[in-house]
């Protein structure tokens, strides 16, 4: 059985969501970032950490890629054009959408107060909104980032949408991006993951 270490209302949600999609059992240790439990397996203190037996794997994107490759689901094979496009969507989610959200978070409550630049949050909102416009153009008719096939790229991008709601960033009230996020939220595995997140909170 896998073990996910990390407080659920973090990027640990991505790993939990994928494990629910895979139907793989897992144990959850809701340890906080920088806690002793996390530092014992990841010197940076960052979450999530996936324990596969005695082996720790860090970084949510690396974990999701590992799990999808290992189980042969929710990913295209390495070395294919489809995989390159899938990875491009994943990187877009991390660079553009998460980048804006993470920068805003660091300048709201994560960095020491004297190391914050609150005015940068307006720029973050602009960059996030621009990113959603690009996402709409890229996904087209969908239903998912890679057309008919749901992949880990959707998990990464979908997690950013939930993060945006928590951070009070604007999301579209209608249109293709709104419909895309709605489809992601309606997936049974997403709902199962959210139930566990709520239970652990």
The span from the CA of 52 to the CA of 2, in Å, is 5
Domain boundaries along the sequence of the chain: 2-74+191-200, 81-187
Instruction: Give the tens place of pLDDT for each residue, 18-30.
Output: 999 999 999 999 9
Closest CA to 14 of 90, 124, 127: 90
Instruction: Give the tens place of pLDDT for each residue, 64-90.
Output: 999 999 999 999 999 999 999 999 999
According to CATH, the topology of domain 81-187 is Glutathione S-transferase Yfyf (Class Pi); Chain A, domain 2 (1.20.1050)
Which two three-digit tokens encode residue 16? Answer: 């939990």
DSSP string across 142-188: -SBTBBTB--HHHHHHHHHHHHHHHTT----SSSHHHHHHHHHHHSH
Phi, psi of 170 (to 5 degrees): -75, 135
Distance of CA 48 to the CA centre of its chain: 11
Contact (Cβ atoms closer than 8 angstroms) between residue 10 and residue 200: no
Edge-to-edge, what's the strand order for the sheet holding 55-58?
26-29, 2-5, 49-52, 55-58
Same fold, 2-74+191-200 and 81-187: no
Q: Which CATH number is associated with domain 2-74+191-200?
A: 3.40.30.10
The span from the CA of 140 to the CA of 125, in Å, is 23
Contact (Cβ atoms closer than 8 angstroms) between residue 46 and residue 58: yes
Mean pLDDT by 10 residues, the chain (201 residues): 96 98 97 96 97 98 98 98 98 98 96 96 98 96 95 98 96 96 98 95 73
């Amino acid at each position: 059985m896998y073990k996910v270490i990390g407080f659920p209302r973090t990027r640990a949600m991505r790993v939990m969501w994928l494990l629910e999609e895979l139907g793989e059992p897992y144990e959850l240790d809701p340890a906080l970032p920088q806690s002793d439990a996390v530092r014992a397996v990841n010197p940076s203190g960052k979450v999530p950490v996936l324990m596969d037996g005695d082996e720790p794997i860090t970084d949510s994107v690396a974990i999701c890629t590992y799990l999808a490759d290992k189980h042969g689901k929710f990913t295209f094979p390495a070395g294919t054009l489809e995989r390159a496009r899938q990875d491009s969507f994943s990187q877009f989610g991390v660079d553009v959408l998460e980048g804006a959200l993470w920068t805003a978070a660091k300048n709201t409550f994560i960095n020491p107060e004297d190391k914050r630049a609150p005015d940068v949050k307006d720029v973050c909102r602009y960059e996030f909104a621009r990113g959603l416009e690009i996402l709409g153009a890229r996904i087209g008719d969908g239903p998912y980032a890679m057309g008919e096939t749901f992949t880990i790229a959707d998990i990464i991008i979908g997690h950013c949408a939930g993060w945006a709601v928590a951070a009070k960033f604007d999301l579209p009230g209608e249109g293709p991006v709104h419909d895309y996020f709605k489809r992601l939220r309606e997936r049974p595995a997403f709902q199962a993951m959210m139930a566990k997140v709520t239970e652990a909170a």
